[in-house]
Amino acid sequence: MKPRGYGREIESTMLESDDGLIWRQRALFQEKEGDETAFQFEPDGSIVAVARRPGSSSAQLCRSSPPYVEWDRIEMDHYVGGPLLARWGSRYIVGGRKRTVNRGAKTAIYWLVGDQLLEFSELPSGGDNSYPGFVELSPTRALVSWYSSHETNAAGKELTAIYLADLEISE
């Protein structure tokens, strides 16, 4: 028996509301294997999204324009769990849990260039980790937060903590 909320039959739906109380379906953006997805709404109303793909070794890059009925999907060359997608100046930044063969799961930050992810930082992380957050402070400076359980207390018990990194681009 599969746990509830997993498997090929799970859909992901975009909802909308005028008042935050009454919701209606706007679009079905994953017809199967729906999972964690980060969205970036563009000034023209189009959407760029990074979707985790359960059971897959890659994330999916999704694009759509209003009314969000048709989606272009590209399998990417990296797995991204708990995805973050944000704009930093004129660039896209993507973050989330990556899978490594010998060192376990790590939280990584990437540039999205075209349809490719270019890793620029692996954050101190291990064990249960992911779900980065992002705040742009300027076109060259930003904060990234994430959680991880890679440290232990004095008794050797695993600790889960939230971390913060100050990023700076030198141009």
Nearest to 58 by CA among 132, 115, 5, 127: 115
Query: Mean pLDDT score of the chain, rounded to an integer?
Result: 90
Mean pLDDT comparison of 24-38, 91-105, 134-148, highest-scoring range: 134-148
Q: What pLDDT does residue 5 have? A: 54
What predicted TM-score, i.e. pTM, was given to this entire model? 0.87
Higher pLDDT, 154 or 171: 154
Nearest to 50 by CA among 77, 23, 26: 77
Domain boundaries, the chain: 12-168
Q: What pLDDT does residue 2 have? A: 54
Share of the chain above pLDDT 70, in %: 92
Q: What pLDDT does residue 170 have? A: 85
Q: What pLDDT does residue 84 have? A: 97
Nearest to 86 by CA among 122, 38, 47: 38
Q: What pLDDT does residue 35 have? A: 80
| CATH class of this structure's domain 12-168 | mainly beta
Q: What average pLDDT does the segment 108-128 reach?
A: 95
Q: What average pLDDT does the segment 23-32 reach?
A: 84
What is the per-residue pLDDT across 39-91, written as a single tens digit (0 to 9) for each?
Answer: 999 999 999 999 987 777 889 999 999 999 899 999 998 999 999 999 999 99
pLDDT above 90 for 27: no
Q: What pLDDT does residue 6 have? A: 57
Q: What pLDDT does residue 120 have? A: 94
Q: What average pLDDT does the segment 152-164 reach?
A: 95
